[in-house]
């Protein structure tokens, strides 16, 4: 799959082509200069603006006649590379869905001298070399190059902030004294951030005149928590290593520390993420919700590159933490024809009804794991075997009619072997932590996790992805 990242801000513009090869991103950055017919349009979040913006792109963006291709830190000259116009052709609309909530458009073409190249991939002719950029990328992708310089690394801060993990852990322990459930909350923050347009700390941004915060989107509002703890961690890190460690990396380190401090596995966190400059309020709708069945969960996880093993292992984070009554009350009273969910253990059902009476307080907190509610272990899976999964998203992993060939075997495997679960969970966390990360010169390292650095004037971001039309709606 060929992917392009097209980032536009008031400060810089760049186009990045990425070709996936053996699990690594092989990267080519092509900088170019914008020519604005007017100032940047204000950031909006509706499909009409999305269409108009991408159509206007041909009027104020162009490639210079000579482009320097930055290939893994080495400069490769490509003479007379002409790509005058970048546009999303209307003729492709019927073949590729537009998902404006994430700012993603599926299927683009590049026009040369306003003559459309009929291709569903990215192509740009070399007038001197008569070789398409797509072909060039394809040739590069099959060569055995080292992975892209922008890859994450566990040693990223070894020379610039070697004590960052210790600083994060110290702050988390201080927070846990007054908030016993903070560890579970911080894992959830990391999960919600990564699922919404990638692990770039967009979830941490507050409302401004230019940013509509994800914090107030339905899946996060009065639900996601722990922002003040991240603030405290960031302050402590800045006092030791000013301007070095991103908020996105702090979230990743905090998630690992939260698991380990709760008697779960320890792993070395890949680092080097940069912070995004935008929030994606509407994109938060793609987050898995407590009412999703297993089919919906599989689709949402697959949309961000996670498979069934990842789904089941990462769901194991519900081995600690709490959930409000409204997230599962429908299972207690009116799941089907006025009856409770038949997949609920009857004794467990009775206890939950005491905690969450019909018509009672919808925000009362309940343990996701009724056996060891604050310990990271594999009891979550044995609970599912005993029909004690709290949420639909939990119990469906085992009990849904169509899970026998997909998620159910992993539930049983993890219930039987804690080490296997821990190993799979670590792999899933690392994999999730690599979703659409910003690295290198992309993004920034925020001084304050709640706001972008020196924000002034309008800024917007467009991400383009070449995908199969049949899967576009699942993104």
How does pLDDT run across 345-390, given as a tens digit for each residue? 999 999 999 999 999 999 999 999 999 999 999 999 999 999 999 9
Per DSSP, helices labelled H in 61-142 are 133-142
State how far the alpha carbon of 445 is from the alpha carbons of 27, 247, 436, 448, 450, in Å. 21, 7, 16, 9, 12
Consult the annotation and say whether 318 binds a ligand: yes
pLDDT at position 326 is: 94
Q: Is 449 contained in some domain? A: no
* Segment 25-56, tens digit of pLDDT: 333 333 333 332 223 333 333 344 334 444 43
Consult the annotation and say whether 127 binds a ligand: no
Domain of residue 319, CATH code? 1.10.420.10
Coil/strand/helix, residue 389? coil
Last residue of a domain, one of 244, 260, 287: 287
Q: Is 143 contained in some domain? A: yes
* Segment 103-136, tens digit of pLDDT: 222 222 222 222 222 222 333 332 322 223 333 3
Consult the annotation and say whether 198 binds a ligand: yes
Q: How far apart are CA 63 and CA 112, in angstroms?
A: 11
Contacts of 432 (CB under 8 A, 6+ apart): 191, 194, 195, 199, 304, 306, 310, 314
Coil/strand/helix, residue 251? helix
Q: Is 443 contained in some domain? A: no
pLDDT at position 400 is: 80
Residues 432, 303 share a domain:
yes
Residues 427, 292 share a domain:
yes
Residues 176, 250 share a domain:
yes
Consult the annotation and say whether 193 binds a ligand: yes
Last residue of a domain, one of 287, 314, 349: 287
Residues 261, 331 share a domain:
no
Q: Domain span at residue 319?
A: 288-438
pLDDT at position 468 is: 30
Last residue of a domain, one of 287, 306, 327: 287
* Segment 150-181, tens digit of pLDDT: 489 999 999 999 999 999 999 999 999 999 99
Residues 124, 51 share a domain:
yes
Q: Is 446 contained in some domain? A: no
Consult the annotation and say whether 226 binds a ligand: no
CA angle 336, 337, 338 (to 5 degrees): 90
Q: Is 398 contained in some domain? A: yes
Q: Which helix (H) or strand (E) holds 87?
A: strand 85-87
Would you name the residues annotated as active-site residues? 192
Top pLDDT among 308 and 31 is at: 308
Residues 314, 255 share a domain:
no
Q: Is 217 contained in some domain? A: yes
Consult the annotation and say whether 372 binds a ligand: yes
Residues 170, 110 share a domain:
no
Q: Is 447 contained in some domain? A: no
Considering only CA atoms, which of 360, 377, 282, 371 is closest in space to residue 324?
Answer: 360
Domain of residue 171, CATH code? 1.10.520.10
| Number of structural domains found in the chain | 3
State how far the alpha carbon of 108 is from the alpha carbons of 3, 91, 303, 346, 408, in Å. 11, 10, 19, 54, 39
For 216, the token pair is 């107030």
Q: Is 205 contained in some domain? A: yes
Consult the annotation and say whether 319 binds a ligand: yes
pLDDT at position 43 is: 35
Q: How far apart are CA 53 and CA 267, in angstroms?
A: 43
Residues 102, 63 share a domain:
yes
Residues 19, 145 share a domain:
yes
* Segment 459-473, tens digit of pLDDT: 333 333 332 322 222
Residues 261, 347 share a domain:
no
* Segment 181-212, tens digit of pLDDT: 999 999 999 999 999 989 999 999 999 988 99
For 344, the token pair is 């609920």
Q: Which residue has the tokens 């000013």?
A: 242
Residues 246, 233 share a domain:
yes
Residues 348, 313 share a domain:
yes
């Amino acid at each position: 799959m060929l992917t392009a990242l097209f980032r536009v801000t008031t400060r810089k513009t760049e186009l990045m082509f990425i070709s996936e090869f053996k699990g690594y991103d092989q990267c080519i950055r092509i900088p170019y200069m914008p020519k604005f017919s007017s100032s940047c349009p204000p950031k909006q979040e509706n499909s009409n603006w999305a269409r108009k913006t991408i159509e206007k792109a041909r009027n104020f963006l162009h490639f210079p006649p000579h482009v320097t291709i930055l290939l893994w830190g080495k400069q490769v000259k490509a003479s007379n590379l002409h790509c005058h116009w970048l546009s999303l052709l209307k003729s492709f609309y019927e073949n590729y869905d537009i998902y404006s909530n994430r700012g993603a458009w599926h299927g683009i073409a590049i026009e040369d001298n306003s003559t459309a190249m009929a291709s569903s991939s990215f192509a740009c002719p070399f007038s001197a070399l008569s070789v398409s950029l797509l072909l060039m990328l394809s040739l590069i992708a099959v060569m055995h190059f080292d992975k892209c310089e922008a890859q994450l690394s566990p040693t990223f801060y070894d020379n610039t902030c070697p004590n960052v993990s210790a600083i994060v852990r110290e702050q988390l322990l201080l927070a846990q004294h007054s908030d016993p459930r903070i560890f579970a909350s911080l894992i959830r923050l990391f999960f919600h951030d990564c699922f919404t347009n990638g692990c770039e700390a967009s979830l941490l941004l507050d409302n401004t005149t230019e940013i509509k915060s994800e914090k107030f989107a339905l899946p996060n509002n009065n639900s996601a928590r722990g922002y003040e703890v991240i603030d405290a961690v960031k302050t402590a890190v800045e006092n030791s290593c000013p301007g070095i460690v991103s908020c996105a990396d702090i979230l990743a380190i905090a998630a690992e520390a939260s698991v380990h401090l709760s008697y779960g596995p320890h792993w070395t966190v890949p680092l080097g993420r940069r912070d995004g400059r935008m929030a994606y309020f509407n994109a938060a709708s793609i987050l898995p919700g407590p009412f999703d069945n297993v089919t919906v969960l599989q689709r949402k996880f697959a949309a961000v590159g996670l498979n069934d093993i990842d789904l089941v292992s990462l769901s194991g984070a519900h081995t600690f933490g709490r959930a409000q009554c409204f997230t599962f009350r429908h299972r207690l009273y009116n799941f089907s024809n006025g009856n409770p969910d038949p997949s609920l253990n009857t004794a467990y059902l009775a206890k939950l009804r005491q905690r969450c009476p019909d018509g009672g307080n919808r925000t009362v907190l309940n343990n996701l794991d009724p056996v060891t509610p604050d310990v990271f272990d594999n009891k979550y899976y044995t609970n599912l075997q005993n029909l004690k999964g709290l949420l639909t998203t939990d119990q469906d992993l085992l009990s849904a009619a169509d899970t026998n060939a997909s998620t159910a075997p992993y539930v049983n495997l993890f219930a039987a072997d804690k080490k296997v679960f821990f190993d799979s969970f670590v792999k899933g966390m690392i994999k999730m932590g690599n979703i659409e990360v910003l690295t290198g010169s992309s993004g920034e390292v925020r001084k304050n996790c709640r706001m972008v650095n020196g924000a002034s004037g309008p800024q917007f971001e467009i991400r383009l992805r070449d995908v199969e039309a049949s899967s576009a709606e699942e993104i």
